Structure 1
Amino acid sequence: DHDGLLKIGHNVKTGYFAQNLEELLNEEKTVLETVDDIAAGEIRTKVRNMLGAFLFRGDDADKKVKVLSGGERSRLALVRLLLEPHNLLVLDEPTNHLDMRSRDILKQALMNYDGTLIVVSHDRDFLDGIVSRVYEFRNHSIREHIGGIYDFLRRRKIENLREIERKDITPPEKKEDDDSGNISSGRQKYLERKDYERSLRRLKNKLEKSERKIENIEKEISLIDTLMNSPGHLTEASREFYEKYRELKEKHAEEMDRWTQYTHELEVFLNEDE
């Protein structure tokens, strides 16, 4: 834990993205209303473009928040934050619960952002190209490292950010049975490495499979959205579309939960074994 005093500079307007920000959206408003409420002045002219950049295109802007998936809500919360007149953004693990496509969109938007960013994240690929310095909280002190995230990792001689936490909290492993003669140290390390690689592949495959499912479900939802918004679909047959829509939304929510679980499992695995 670190304690200190925060002094906000003159004319600094701070925006904050918490991991539960999407839960605070008004479910009865449409996508467009949600962002149009906070856009002011010249920013209002950018609303449609920003929504389009975050994959809310055409009739998507007229959807109500209550029918959006978890990933869509996260994207909408980020659009709202980026359109507000802030010149300092504090982002707390902004890529949590975002699929790969949404993460890439957010990264591109932040790279084009004119203000200052403070990002709390363990995602080194996301941070690459965004940050120009890294602040390391360690041993009750704060160290500033000038340069990008990979410059910092090279200087610390580590491969990922969770390795820092592991070094700080994990005691050195005890060597056991060094003189047993049952198996050489080199052979043991080889077997451990092969087992590690198999487990890592298994976890990555589960995550990639889940992401493909999410993408396919979202395509189906988008297709039904288009059909339901077309004239002539308030017929008896349209009930099937609404039922299919509901089922797809449930499948999407379930798969997003699995994706979150697999992501957590992979993070824990890397934290324990790297």
Structure 2
Amino acid sequence: MMRPIRILRLAAALAVLAGAAGAQVADLRSTTALRVCADPAAVPMSAQDGSGFENRIAGLIAERLDLPVQYFWFPQGMGFIRKTLLDGNCDVVIGFAQGDELVQNTNHYYTSVYGIVTRKDGELAGVDRLSDPALKGRDLGVVAGTPPASHMARAGLAKDMRGWDLFVDRRIEDPVGDMLKGVHDGTLDAAVLWGPLAGPLVKADPDLQFTPLLKEEEAPRLFYRITMGVRPSDQEWKRELNSLIRRNQDEINAILHEAGVPLVDDYGQQLLP
């Protein structure tokens, strides 16, 4: 049996090693730039030309930190977090859904919702729920594997759904753009899409409208809180970002509103002005 003094020495040595390992991980965060992990072609959220609303939010945070923005570009799909944030190539993902265990989430800085995109002058312009009988027999676009696809299948729309892939290299493929083009030219009757992707693009098309799906009561939910994602070890960095979000929430909201992102309350029950 180990003597108490040996146990104490071993515990102290392990604590020193753990502290050194923690410091080594923490050192991955740059002090000379805001290093952002981002998809170069996730329009309208992020874009290599800096036009996305997440680019503008990154610019705001960098300005408050008095640092330049430095991007590490990588297509957002399988392996994105491992090859960007966890490999130490960057220090923050500007938009990340709350609750994902791959990252440590900051406090959320907005909540948005899935919705249905239709033509303003079309027969489906008044549809605001996926159980509406008017959707039966229509050509409906949806990204396969997303939450509204489950609602649509339950509503008996499986045979009417045309699915697009969830994980694609958006430098080559553009599922959301293809669906919106289809609704615009009439090859699709409607498309069910994530608000932050569809809302800003619909805002730029006077013939289309985005109707938030606020009346769906069954699981899965169709509204999600969006945070910034950091490494699980970066507690201090998370606290600093939480403070920046809190102190600059009005400016963040202004960026989101100007972009056309549909914002809802934290319970997904009503649109925010």
Tell me whether the two structures share a fold, i.e. TM-score over 0.5.
Answer: no
Higher share in helix: 1
TM-score (normalised: structure 1):
0.22
Q: Rg bigger for which structure?
A: 1
Larger RCO, structure (CA 8 Å, separation 6 or more): 2
TM-score (normalised: structure 2):
0.22
Higher share in strand: 2
